[in-house]
Structure 1
Amino acid sequence: MSTRTLTLVLATGALLAGCGGQIGQNNAPAQSGSGTAPSNKNLELVVGVKNEPFYTSMQCGAEAAAKQAGYTLNTQAPDEFDPTMQGPIVTALGAKKPAALLIAPTDDKTMAPQMKQIKDMGVKIIEVDTALQDTSVAASSISSDNTQGGQLAAQTMAKLNNGKTGSVLVLDTKPGTSTTAARAKGFEEELKKVAPNLKSIGIQFTDNEPAVAAQKVTAAVSSTPDLIGVFATNLNSGEGAATGLRSAGKVGQVQLIGFDASPSEVEGLRSGAFQALIAQDPATIGKAGVEQAVAAIEGKPTQRNISAPLIALTKQDMDTKSEFFYKTKC
């Protein structure tokens, strides 16, 4: 297990370069509208999956911002991170016609028709965390700079292994998930630059299921004797990877870097199951999403792309950065 302190915070400039803006900035051209107070102050937040701490933390930030702005916010989520489950939720919003829909689309193509349908009803669309490939649908898109997050994970993996030679496994969720795909790509590209001694054995998909991630890791341990690291691109994959390494008796021998900071991942970091976590700031994403939604509704300027901060956590510094730990309730 590593005791190396890795305090790697993404710089503001890097965030700006990656996604075109930073939380708190608002410099895009104004949307059409009178700027008068609207009569409809109902917001809908549709997140990726129920009972996931990342989305709960996002909901908490969004609820606080909505209350402060004098709006109401209702949150819905599918039982699984699956567009066939999320799509009907969005379609049903046509009967409610909220002023704005904040959404983490579960597929960057499949969710486009439902989101366009709601937009055509006059509902403002704000993307939070994930995004469509079609950039014409949403007025604003708020997320972490996921490519930079993958790069940060690769830099951290290189430092953890400190010149050792070996193989690394990358765990992604589902094809078509924009955020995790960017993390995986950023990791693999950066690893080639900063750690030529480490070789990626490729990206494997987990269906966003911890049990599948655990199976992938135990299989990799068996088939790849020199496996030295695992990068898991989201919390479910990270939790599953920790289980897989535990089952294989490889905890601490294979360096595990997770993305996100769920309660179980934070506990895993404390116990040594994880060597580092790349934490997002979902509450800030939710807050910024509401701010952009209100601006769009009221005909004020909105910003098309906004980046939220990322930070690397280790056992040594985690308690000084506890504001990045995800919540299970507001």
Structure 2
Amino acid sequence: MMKYVLRGGAIIALLIFLFSTAQAAPVRVVFIPKATMPFFWQVMERSARHTAERLNVDLVWRGPRNEINLLAQRKLLTLYTRTPGTDAIVLAPSSLDDLNPEIAEAAEAGIKIVVVDSPSSSRHVSAFIATDNYHAGYKTGEYMAAKVGPDSTVMIMGYVKGNVSTDRREKGFRDAMKARAPGVTLVSSHCEKGLYRVCAQAALAGLRKYKDLAGVFAVNEISSVGLVEALGYHEGTRPGTVVIFDYNQRLEDALKDGSVDILVAQSPETMGRLGVQTALDLVEGRCVEAVKRCPVLFLDRESATEDVLKTLRLEGFSGVEASPHIMGINTPTP
């Protein structure tokens, strides 16, 4: 009789151990960025991994190499929706609408959905974390309008149409220019493939086509690098005011050597950190903000101090660390 009691006790102990082990398994968050190559996404990855380690989250980071591979994002969404153990997906969608069926399938499987950087129109998204891109573009347009003459020409170095972040950034810039400098002619040259080389070719073509530009605004990291490269090859007059958006080492160098006048930097660190934190909160049943806006820096050569640049080079900046420089406080005076 005692033997059976011992066996029964051992079985119960084993069941308790297995149950406690299952309970202790970390939450799995799958993070699908638009791309993995640009520095913007590399910073976001480092931030997400650091946050996941701190919070004991099992993080999977997978995405396409460049930002125009919607098919790869669709396949990854389907793969991890149908892979057992996925608790939440953090997605930076390359399209406003085209991933909605895959997002719906994930949500119906009980997976929490957090979107970062660019919005999704899906009703299944629980939280959105991003720059206010329209406002950032508008503030940039206000600065440009104050710098250029009333009858001058300004070129927008645009990006792939349908990329909502850059579309809204460009829309804000255009609206500000129309409101503050209605006599200025706006022209554009767009990079339609989302590649550095293609953006450089498009920028150089625009610089050669539109003579005596009073200003140029590049809307993201890839178009900004393309513009900086094109300026190096351009034989004509340098545009009067050059504003670039996003940060990497090449763009920092261009700010320092005077190739550009203003660098507008987002905080991919904030998006990575809050993306993982918000996903965990949702899985564990905590309330989250539906929309969270991330800080933006306006930097000229004087305000681009080594301390500020160090945060951008290594791990981006958070709203707390960069509070003196947040958009609206650090907006440059023309």
TM-score w.r.t. length of structure 1:
0.82
Q: In the alignment, which of 100, 108, 133 is matched to residue 88 of structure 2?
A: 100
Instruction: Indicate the structure (1 or 2) with the bigger Cα radius of gyration.
Output: 2
* Whole-angstrom CA distance in 2 between matches of 1:171 and 1:97: 43
Separation in 2 of the partners of 1:250 and 1:145? 35
Answer yes or no: is 1:272 the counterpart of 2:258.
yes
1:59–1:302 CA distance, 2 compared to 1 (3 A): same
User: For the structure 1 residues 315 and 294, does the alpha-carbon distance in structure 2 shift closer, same or farther, using more than 3 Å as the test?
Assistant: same
Question: Which stretch of structure 1 is more off in the superposition, 102-111 or 142-151?
Answer: 102-111
Q: CA shift at 1:258, angstroms?
A: 1.1
**Given residue 64 of structure 2, which amino acid in structure 1 is its aligned partner?**
P
> Which of 217, 221, 225 is the matching residue for 2:211?
225
DSSP-derived class of the 1:256 partner: strand
Work out whether residues 227 and 254 of structure 1, in 8 Å CA contact, stay in contact via their aligned partners in 2. yes
Tell me, in whole angstroms, the C-alpha distance in 1 between the residues paired with 2:295 and 2:120: 21
1:43 aligns with 2:29: yes
In the alignment, which residue of structure 1 is the partner of 2:228? 242
Q: Could you tell me which residue of structure 1 aligns to residue 44 of structure 2? A: 58
CA distance in 2, matches of 1:170, 1:139: 34
Shift of 1:182: 0.6
Conserved 8 A contact 2:161-2:192: no
CA gap 1:132/1:214 in 2 versus in 1, 3 angstroms: same
Residue-by-residue CA offset, 1:101-134 (whole Å, 9 max, x unaligned): 1110111111222222222211111101112123
Kept after mapping to 2: 8 A contact 1:172/1:233? yes
Structure 2 letter corresponding to 1:117? E
Give the Å deviation of 1:40.
4.9
Q: Give 2:6's aligned residue.
A: none
Query: In structure 2, do the counterparts of structure 1 residues 254 and 207 end up closer, same or farther at CA, with 3 Å as the change threshold?
Result: farther
1:121 is matched with which residue? 109
Alpha carbons of 1:265 and 1:251: their partners in 2 closer, same or farther (altered >3 Å)? farther
In the other structure, the counterpart of 1:157 is 144
State the Cα distance separating 1:328 from its structure 2 match. 8.7
2:70 corresponds to which residue? 83
Q: 1:216 aligns with which of 175, 197, 202?
A: 202
Q: What CA distance in whole angstroms lies between the structure 2 residues aligned with 1:286 and 1:87?
A: 20
Equivalent residue for 2:98? 110
Inter-partner Cα distance in structure 1 for 2:315 and 2:238:
27
Structure 1 residues not aligned, in runs of 5+: 1-36
1:123-170 deviations in whole A, cap 9, x for unaligned? Answer: 111101112123x12110100010111012112223443x36421121
Equivalent residue for 2:244?
A: 258
Say which structure, 1 or 2, has more relative contact order (CA 8 Å, 6+ apart).
Answer: 1
Q: Structure 1: which amino acid aligns with 2:274?
A: A
2:133 aligns with 146
Q: Residues 188 and 206 of structure 2 are in contact (CA less than 8 Å); yes or no, is this contact kept in structure 1?
A: no
Q: Which amino acid aligns with 1:46?
A: I
Alignment partners' CA distance in 2, 1:225 and 1:72: 53
- Conserved? CA contact 1:214–1:245, under 8 Å: no
Cα distance change of structure 1 residues 38 and 306 upon mapping to structure 2, 3 Å threshold: farther
- Give the % identical residues: 22
Count of residue pairs the alignment pairs up? 291
1:291 corresponds to which residue? Answer: 277
Q: Structure 1 CA distance, aligned partners of 2:294 and 2:229? A: 29
Normalising by structure 2, report the TM-score. Answer: 0.81
The 3 A distance-change label for structure 1 pair 96 and 231 is: farther
Structure 2: where are the runs of 5+ without partners? 1-22, 317-334
Decide whether aligned partners of structure 1 residues 43 and 250 sit closer, same or farther in structure 2, where only a CA change above 3 A counts.
farther
Rounded Cα–Cα distance in structure 2 between residues aligned with 1:137 and 1:171? 34
Q: CA deviation at 1:250?
A: 4.8
Distance in 1 separating the partners of 2:112 and 2:310? 30
Greater Cα offset, 77-86 or 318-327: 318-327
